[in-house]
Amino acid sequence: MTFPNLPIPIPKRRALDLPIRPTRAEISHSALLHNLELTKTWASPSPLLAVVKANAYGHGAVDVARTLEAGGVWGLAVALVEEGVELRHAGIGGRIVVMGGAYAGAWPLVVEHGLTPTLFRKAHLQEYGRLLRSLGKEADVHIKVDTGMGRNGVVLTELEEFIAELKAWPELRLEGLCTHLACAEQVGAELTGLQLGRFEKALACFQRLGFNPAWRHIANTAATLSLPEARDGKLFNLVRPGGALYGLFPKGWPRSLPLRRVLSWKTGITHLKTLSTGDSVSYDATWKATRATRVATLPVGYADGFGRDYSNRGEVLLHGRRAKVIGRVAMDFCLVDVTSIEQAAVGDEVVLLGEQGGECLDADALAECIDSLHYEVLCGIGARVPRILVE
């Protein structure tokens, strides 16, 4: 089938018209800057390699990266080459360190976009070095050692062999050495002490064999807060905070630090109805009314990250009061019981995550409801939920 070659008008996007659906995530620019300045103070004297992987923990990587770069961070850390490329396409010009590896076939993108890869396999050295050599270029790299996480990194027993291969590729300038702590949120964990010692041995091995990386980093948010030796400016002189920048506390920690929540997740009522006793709602009829019940429809569902686990368990805020999710959460909609909130009306703002009228639902509360983790809740907010910078 063919179609006539008719001009198709492309409607212009007008910012004030978006989002059309009331569901959105509001990102507080001022809260992000506040948390950044606090984290700088805690990390001192070490500068920040700010973690913006996973769409900046669900907050919107591009806008967050712009704010952090303007705020004077040393660099930005991502997990994937694709994440680094996205930031470059958005005009982010500073240092971007790719922490996650898995570079097969991506080396030309690393070169083209000026990304700093983290290497931990001999194949990494060979593939990247060979490409740089063919181009007559040199580039900075970071090396990751495995001190106890058991995931990515050169194991210590293979370190000398790895360094011998590194020597064969002078195109690779060793800028940084890093590792990842497995139990940083557990203050006083035995493994953390072992990892610190193993890293020091790895650094000594590099230095003995002719390399002295200028930057050494091990500290995530929890280590930045609780391990001064992990940011002493000597052995360790760079930190990698993530959660603190977004106002998130390490799991299980008291919330006594003056961090501010950066993301608020909101929607609105699009329909109201009154059910009679015995009426059911949503798929599988898992909830039935035991009295006359006023039900609000919210245009948010598991395709947006408000998952099925919230069915008959979750709560939202309406007029500063809590309203219970009833029935199965569907792909695009969920339902809440607003019988006790008499002023509820179509168009009213509903808070899924954030504050309203003195009440608060934070990411920890949502995570507890579904036996999860605050990071997972935030990272799970779907791509079709627009992130909107607010003040």
DSSP 285-342: G-EE-SS-EEEEEES--GGGT--GGGTTT-EEEETTEEEEEES---SS-EEEE-TT-T
d(Cα 247, Cα 268) in Å, to the nearest integer? 25
Question: And the tokens for 367?
Answer: 């995570």
Q: Where are the alpha helices (DSSP H) in the chain?
A: 29-43, 53-58, 61-70, 81-89, 107-112, 122-135, 159-167, 190-208, 221-226, 363-369, 374-379
Residue 99 φ then ψ, to 5°: -90, -15
Q: How far apart are CA 107 and CA 114, in angstroms?
A: 10
Instruction: State yes or no: is 12 an active-site residue.
Output: no
In sequence order, which residues have a C-beta less than 8 Å from that of residue 187 and are 6 or more positions away?
226
Contact 142, 116 (CB under 8 A): yes
CA dihedral 151, 153, 155, 158 (to 10 degrees): 140
Q: Could you count the other beta carbons within 10 Å of the beta carbon of residue 4?
A: 4
- 3-state class of 13 per DSSP? coil
Q: Where are the alpha helices (DSSP H) in 4-102?
A: 29-43, 53-58, 61-70, 81-89
**Cα–Cα distance, 296 to 33 (Å, whole number):** 36
Rounded-to-integer distance, Cα 297 and Cα 325, Å: 10
103 is annotated as an active-site residue: no
The tokens for 372 are 């999860």
Q: Which of 137, 201, 273, 283 is catalytic?
A: 283
Which of 40, 53, 103, 167 is catalytic? The answer is 53
* Separation of alpha carbons 148 and 181, rounded Å: 7
Tokens of 380: 């799970």
- Give catalytic residue positions: 53, 283
